[in-house]
Amino acid sequence: MSEIRLLIDEDVMDHRFVGALKAKGVDVTTVGELSRTGFSDEEQLTIATEQQRAFYTFNVGDFCQLHTLYITQKRTHSGIIISSQDYSLGEQMRRVLKLMATKSAQDMENQLVFLSAYLGE
C-alpha cells in the first residue's frame, strides 16, 4: 500500500505548514508550486487526481458538492481532505500525520475525509 501524497489548495498554502510536512517526509506540493492558482475547484481536483494526490483544503461547501458530483457521475478522485481553518499549524500537522498513519493512498480513493475525525497526539 502506498502512502498518501498531498496537493494543497491555495486557501491553505502556508509555507510553514508545507515545509513542516516536507520535513516529516510527506510527499506534498501546492497549487502554487504547480502554477495552478486561480483554477476552478473541479480543475484543482482533476489535477490532484492526475497526480494521484489527495486534495487538502479548507473549502467545505464546494468540495463536499464536488465529491457528491463525482460519486453520482461514477468518476474517480484520489481523495479530499477537509480541514478547519481554526486549527493551528501544529494541530493540522498532528491530524494529517495521524490520518496518514491510518490510511493508505488506496484507502483515500473517492473518500471525503474531515480532518476533525483525526485527533493529533
The answer to whether the pTM exceeds 0.85 is yes
CA–CA separation, 106 and 6 (whole Å): 13
Question: What does the pLDDT read at residue 66?
Answer: 97
Select from 56, 51, 47 the least CA-distant residue to 81.
56
Tens-place pLDDT, residues 58-97: 999 999 999 999 999 999 999 999 999 999 999 999 999 9
Helix (H, G, I), strand (E, B) or coil at 114: strand
Q: DSSP letters along 50-85, please?
A: HTT-EEEES-HHHHHHHHHHHHHTT---S-EEE--T
> Element (H or E) spanning 113, and its range?
strand 112-114
pLDDT of residue 1 exceeding 90, the answer is: no
Question: What does the pLDDT read at residue 121?
Answer: 54
Question: What does the pLDDT read at residue 13?
Answer: 75
- For the chain, list the domains and their CATH numbers: 6-117 (3.40.50)
CA–CA separation, 49 and 76 (whole Å): 8
AA identity, residue 99: L
pLDDT of residue 12 exceeding 90, the answer is: no
Cβ atoms of residues 115 and 83 within 8 Å: yes
Going by pLDDT thresholds of 50, 70 and 90, the confidence category of residue 14 is confident
